[in-house]
A and B are shown apart, each in its own frame.
Chain A
Amino acid sequence: MSLLQELLDRGVFVVTAEIGPPKGTDRASFEKKCVQVKGYVDAVNVTDNQTAVVRLSSFASCLIACEAGLEPVMQLACRDRNRIALQSDFLGACALGIPNFLCITGDHQSLGNHPEARSVFDVDSIQLLSIFRKLRDEGVFANGEKAKGEIRAFLGAGENPFADPLEFRVFRLAKKVEAGAQFIQTQAVFDLEIFSRWMEEVRRFGLHKRVHILAGVIPLKSLQALRYMKEEVPGMVIPRWVEERMERAQDPKEEGIRIAVEIIEALRRVEGVRGIHIMAVAWESVVPEIVQRSGLFPRPMQGGGEGA
């Protein structure tokens, strides 16, 4: 049973964090990241070769996270596997007790470290959601054949409220919900104005009542990190005020944390936002401080409140 689902259903304002598997078999470094965030988050997202860079598999890393006492959200990208492999990995993960899944299309391989690779993209994230939902709820594979055994899975998807065409984003979210998404983790929010407008649309269509929306947050480590994200990461919108504050900061790390905490405070006031998803890429150690300073600690499992 998914703890994440249980907390969301109970109305708890949840905290999830992203942890990236290592570029190799260095299990210890991944375990260290797990220890760093343990107790401060309700679940951890384990990325699936994010930005199309080869890493330890999401599946194996999820099992390591389980052993470390964390609840994983297994990310599954459509870039590297067809509907046969995706269904097979989904069954395997369910059988081994991985409770949460995030269905994503995946970053294009030409942006990663194997740009000559042939991509799959047999199905897209929305089609994958509907395949998993049917497998779980109706017990049938994508081809209609019966599958054996019970499946429990909490299904989620990503969404980027900042990509174009902005007006179509909410309709695409509706398609994800229709296809089976129970929770959504968004791209990192810096531009609260665009995000709020998107949430307004989400509420106008009543989607916030049908899906749990977790807003993405990225703590900035330095001005260089900001510039890199602004220029290199697709679909990332960083408003001028954030850049100005990072430019002026004496202690950029502290300023980055402060901005993240302020954004979380603002996000908690947005109707329909049910939690936050912290993506502290290569800076997982900062997660506890952000959670504490945002007043989101202790977490329910640590005897904390249900704080909505």
Chain B
Amino acid sequence: MALGIIGCERSGFPALCALGRENPNIWDRIAGVIPVPCLGGVKEETIFEALLWCDTLLLVGCPPSSCRNTWGSTLAEKRVARISQLLEEAAVPKKVFCVFAHLNRLGELKARVLG
């Protein structure tokens, strides 16, 4: 199962790097990483495009309470929910998740990547 990651440069991407230092073997599972300034700017189209080369896509960003753009992570959650529903309706066997992480909060990301 190829894993794709779209990570925000402020917390998601650094968190992924930290997880990689702990478990270097995660890189074998990851087909590609797209760093973005904020998850709020990730359009549906970008998500669909990423799903063309991976089976599971993680949007990794700041917890909603600490998003620098206030609504970035919240918007991402709404988009992910809508796309998940479309994928299910179309019976496309691919998954998208929103994962909130930063350097001191790796648990959820670790579970998704290693799980």
Asked whether the complex places CB atoms of A and B closer than 8 A, the reply is no
Chain B interface residues (CB < 8 Å from chain A): none
Chain A interface residues (CB < 8 Å from chain B): none
